[in-house]
Amino acid sequence: MANVLPRRKPNRLPLPSYQGVRCYFVTICCRERRPFFAREELARALARVLRDTCAKHGFDVHAYCFMPDHFHSLLVGNSPSADLPVAVRNFKGAAAACARRFKVSRLWQKGFYDHVIRNEESLNRVAWYILMNPVRGGLVRGAEEWSLSHWCVPGWRTKAAPVEPYLPPWKKPV
């Protein structure tokens, strides 16, 4: 009898969970966590690629933050045909092509991390989690100081963060 390995738990929800009018917290890491986005001009170019690619695939970019070795985004599907895996795959491809113009090759780590956002309150708390990432990383004292972040809420740089911050599911104690 052949050895039977235990089946690995899938790291994705069923495909319909990633389609249509839904909200997602997405994290994509640079290959080997290399600090490619420390080059501000590259991060700014990729922010444009992110907005353009998402628009073509039925997503609004609610918030994003480019850190030196990864980036977070909060994407909101705005049509029934919005498909997160397709949008992310196309963004990663377009971003890699753009990065090559900056002499950066093999930009991305394989795959991406995602979390489905279920309500409006969580949406804003996740946006603040994203915006506070450079503060938690010790790069700036306040989120408003980080130039490689954006939130679609006007005047966010003058607003106070929520009292109870968001904690991603993968960081919660078991």
Which pLDDT tens digit goes with each residue over 106-119?
999 999 998 898 87
The pTM for the full model equals: 0.84
Higher per-residue pLDDT: 36 or 1: 36
Query: Is 124 inside any structural domain?
Result: yes
Q: Which amino acid type is present at position 1?
A: M
Tokens matching residue 87: 């949008």
Domain interval for residue 96? 18-171
| The predicted structure's pLDDT at residue 3 | 59
Query: Is 7 inside any structural domain?
Result: no
CA distance 53 to 72: 15
Q: Examine the pLDDT at 101 and tell me if it is beyond 70.
A: yes
Q: Confirm if 152 and 63 have CB atoms less than 8 A apart.
A: yes
Query: Is 157 inside any structural domain?
Result: yes
Query: Is 60 inside any structural domain?
Result: yes
| The predicted structure's pLDDT at residue 146 | 95
Instruction: Indicate the number of domains in the chain.
Output: 1
Query: At 136, which CATH number?
Result: 3.30.70.1290
Query: Is 46 inside any structural domain?
Result: yes
| The predicted structure's pLDDT at residue 86 | 95
Q: Are strands 113-117 and 70-77 parallel, antiparallel or unpaired?
A: unpaired
Least confident of 27-41, 59-73, 151-165: 151-165
Q: Confirm if 99 and 105 have CB atoms less than 8 A apart.
A: yes
Query: Is 9 inside any structural domain?
Result: no
Query: Is 23 inside any structural domain?
Result: yes
Query: Is 1 inside any structural domain?
Result: no
